[in-house]
Structure 1
Amino acid sequence: MINKVFILAIILFCHACSGQNEKKINTVTKSEKMRKFDIENFKKKWNKGGAFFLLPDGSKVEQYESDNGFDEYIKKPAPSFLSEYNTYYKEGNLKSSTTTFSNVALGKYIEYDKNQKIISEKNEDAKFKKIKYTDILDFLEKKHHLDLKTGKGWYLDNGESAIEVNFNETNSLWTIRSAKGIVTHSKSSPSGQGLKANFYYEIDGNSGKVLKD
């Protein structure tokens, strides 16, 4: 009987510890996600339609005000090819957050209500088939458009994107083009018939076959 009581006590103790650890982890996660939009800093740095500034790590921040709140783009410094896209409610609370590769959402898309509770989550990576964004980067390096070690080629000298990437979830088609150049025509392009680009590629996301080179 004593042994049974002793074992039960151990089980209850371990369960309590587990619950405390889980609570602690959830608290930390929530604290990390619950960023606030700095409205005062936005007003201070506002210039010609938005606020533009650098973070200590070299990330470039673009912030804009909309009818529903604020939009924020955080472009990671080279050699990263990823950015963050966040939206905020009027009072500054986080509304949604996701990671982007050019115009393609990656990882988790998370949406919050005004009380900062998660109301929806979506695994953006689930839409990809055989070809992932890392395969696109490898392809661009092999075509000598990018240097994956330095990030050279991803941005123009003025900081704007040098390469635009899109993904059509309906047919799993990747489209890649330079932001500037001569006009290229394709019915499958995300912008219609006419694209101004030095290079334009279409890649089948199911097979990996290059359809237009």
Structure 2
Amino acid sequence: MFFHSCSGQNEKEINTTKKNEKMKKIDIDKFKKNWSKGGAFFSLSDGTKIEQYETDDGFDEIIKKPLPSFLSEYNTYYKDGNLKSSTIVFSEVSVGKSFEYNKVGKIISEKNEDLKFGKIKYTDILKILNEKNHLDLKTGKGWYKDNGDLAISINFNETNYLWTIRSSEGIITYSKNSPAGQGLKSNFYYEIDGNSGKILKE
């Protein structure tokens, strides 16, 4: 079975990463005030969920956008709270543009993550999951488990242009192309050629 790339318009709508025109900072006082069980956790009025953690180098932040968005934002901050890096993530795959900043907020690195893909983009993976009835693109149902963790794990291998997709629960599936070459606990598992869209394993 083959799948072909979605329209550029669809990808443009989903991929909205852009530079920070104003230096972004993490509110350290708010973080300390709301710290509980290893981190600080917030929910915004639009449904966005934010997780913040303190590290040896500063702070990490995960921003989960409300469904039916399937993208999250991963930010790191210096110890003084200034933004250090920003990346948009689709499951476990970086997409869009990622940025690195120096301590005064100047961009020192900008990378177009989408250049690593072949013809099959992450929007095509969403389409496949929808057609296989693992995901509802209109509502986002199937993307998260009840506890808020991702229900679907997606990886992309830049060396051989191979997409691997699996559910986070279920029977054990073995494949040499799994991220660590180990058995995977999965209700479904796919390997997809990133150039042709052919499903190599399911």
Q: Fold match, TM over 0.5?
A: yes
TM-score, length-scaled by structure 1: 0.84
Structure 1 residue matching 2:21: 3-state secondary structure: helix
Which residue does 1:68 correspond to in 2?
57
Unaligned runs of 5+ in 2: 1-18
Identity %: 72
Per-residue deviation, 1:57: 1.6
Residue identity opposite 1:30 in structure 2: E
2:193 paired with 1:176: no
1:109-168 Cα offsets, whole Å, 9 max, x none, are: 100000111111100010011100010000001110000000000001111110011111
Larger Rg: 1
- In 1, distance between residues paired with 2:88 and 2:124? 17
Per-residue deviation, 1:91: 0.2
If asked which structure has higher relative contact order (CA below 8 Å, sep 6+), I would say 2
**Aligned in 2, Cα 1:200/1:115: closer, same or farther, shift over 3 Å?**
same
Which residue does 1:15 correspond to in 2?
none
1:31-59 Cα offsets, whole Å, 9 max, x none, are: 2xx11101111111111111111122211
Which residue does 1:30 correspond to in 2?
21
2:46 paired with 1:57: yes
**Aligned in 2, Cα 1:29/1:78: closer, same or farther, shift over 3 Å?**
closer
2:106 paired with 1:117: yes
TM-score, length-scaled by structure 2: 0.89
Residue identity opposite 1:56 in structure 2: S
Match of 2:174 among 185, 191, 194: 185
2:140 paired with 1:147: no
Match of 2:76 among 87, 90, 95: 87
Superposition pairs of residues 31-50 of structure 1, within 5 angstroms: 31=22, 34-50=23-39
Residue identity opposite 1:199 in structure 2: F
Greater Cα offset, 138-147 or 188-197:
188-197
Unaligned runs of 5+ in 1: 1-27
Runs of 4+ that moved beyond 4 A: none
Per-residue deviation, 1:29: 5.4
**Aligned in 2, Cα 1:62/1:81: closer, same or farther, shift over 3 Å?**
same
- In 2, distance between residues paired with 1:85 and 1:199? 27
Residue identity opposite 1:162 in structure 2: A
